[in-house]
Amino acid sequence: MPAARRKSKHSGPSPARRWQIISSAIVLPAVLVYMWLSNAWSLFQFRSENPHLLCDSSQAERTSLISLDPLIIYVRDFLSPSEISALLTVAESHFGPSPVYDASARGDTRHQGRTSSTAFLPPSDFPVASCILSRARQFMGTALGPSNTSLSDFSVPQLVRYGPGQKFDVHHDAFPQPRMDQSAGRQYNRMASFFVYLEDDCVDCETWFPHVEPAGIRWGPWDTAKSNETESVMPKSDEYYRNERQGGIMFPPISGNALFWSNLKASGQQDGRVLHAGLPVGEGRKTAMNIWAKRWF
Ligand SMILES: O=C(O)CCC(=O)C(=O)O
Ligand SMILES: [Fe+2]
């Protein structure tokens, strides 16, 4: 046999080399295809479990900043329907004429600017009021301050009710000067307000903040005094505030939702920008809950 032929018979790759070639030509691509397929499968599964691959609508934020300065926050679903019906039931027999604080008399009086009815719900007598105060405390987080440690850091919660023609004229929730808390033996003021809507079956019954004009508001044509029409500033499905022809912002009552705002400047004085009113009810009935957090002095 010629030498050249003999040589070619033995010059092929060794078995180890052949295995190396097979593995790089078949096994490696197979592994890569497998990895790609399994990734694609997981993605497919993820997509079929989350067909829209968008936000989960049940995770919608419940709070909206209306104004940073002064601080005003809108809270959706602050109270559940069952909490609302519990509050309305326990308060029903406790309504009397709404009081107004008279600084010169240093006490509560009646005033023609406030014609609603009020029911006081001391948390010690009304467990539902107590758990709602705890929620308010949670909402306020560390803003209550280190000396605020108990439910007495809130004024006694009140339900306020308006029938046709009843109103609360423009006013401030904080007192002009700190007021004595007799049982605590200390002075306090209402540093923040929660106003929670319970019954909203009424017309012309908004809460109006005449001096708050959030940056995000699109002013209506009336702003130029050319038209009498107000313009909604939110899409219909989310219409929880609207602008007001005379200026400011109006909140129509929506049962369960709450407004939260800060009443005091850092100095402890009233912040005049959060003056507000309960407009005279046209028809129907509005019931809401007042919760005031105290700042001690
Ligand atoms: O009735 C309203 O809309 C506001 C009432 C209010 O401001 C209050 O009770 O202090
Ligand atoms: Fe008020």
Cβ–ligand 1 distance for 207 under 6 Å, the answer yes
pLDDT-based confidence at residue 1 (cuts at 50, 70, 90):
very low
Question: Tens digit of pLDDT for each residue in 251-275?
Answer: 999 999 999 999 999 999 999 999 9
Which atom in ligand 1 lies closest to the alpha carbon of residue 173?
10
pLDDT-based confidence at residue 222 (cuts at 50, 70, 90):
very low
Cβ–ligand 1 distance for 276 under 6 Å, the answer yes
Residues 120 and 158: beta-carbon distance below 8 Å:
yes
Q: What is the CATH number of domain 61-296?
A: 2.60.120.620
**pLDDT for residue 3:** 45
Mapped onto helix, strand or coil, the DSSP state of residue 293 is strand
Bridge partners of residue 102, in order along the sequence: 107
CA separation for the pair 106, 294 (Å, rounded): 17
Taking the CA of 251 as reference, the closest ligand is: 1
CA torsion sign, 141 to 146 to 152 to 156? negative
Mapped onto helix, strand or coil, the DSSP state of residue 41 is helix
Question: Tens digit of pLDDT for each residue in 55-97?
Answer: 676 777 889 888 999 999 999 999 999 999 999 999 999 999 9
Mean pLDDT of 8-35: 74
Mapped onto helix, strand or coil, the DSSP state of residue 198 is strand
Take residue 99 and report the two structure tokens written for it: 């009081």
DSSP structure string for 45-102: HHHHHSTT-S--GGG--SEEEEETTTTEEEETTSS-HHHHHHHHHHHGGG-EEPPEEE
Residues 230 and 222: beta-carbon distance below 8 Å:
yes
Cβ–ligand 1 distance for 160 under 6 Å, the answer yes
Question: Tens digit of pLDDT for each residue in 109-141?
Answer: 888 899 999 999 999 999 999 999 999 999 999
Say how many Å lie between the CA of residue 193 and the centre of ligand 2: 8
Cβ–ligand 1 distance for 262 under 6 Å, the answer no
**Smallest CA separation from ligand 1 atom 10, residue:** 173
Mean pLDDT of 169-175: 96
Cβ–ligand 1 distance for 118 under 6 Å, the answer no
Write b or e for each residue in 238-254: b if 16 or more Cβ atoms lie within 10 A of its Cβ, otherwise e: eebbbbbbeebbbbbbe
CA separation for the pair 149, 159 (Å, rounded): 24
User: 127-140 and 81-91 are packed helices; what angle lies between their axes, rounded to 10 degrees?
Assistant: 130
CA separation for the pair 247, 208 (Å, rounded): 10
Cβ–ligand 1 distance for 168 under 6 Å, the answer yes
Peptide bond into 15 cis (omega under 30): no
**pLDDT for residue 44:** 67
Which amino acid would we find at residue 31?
V
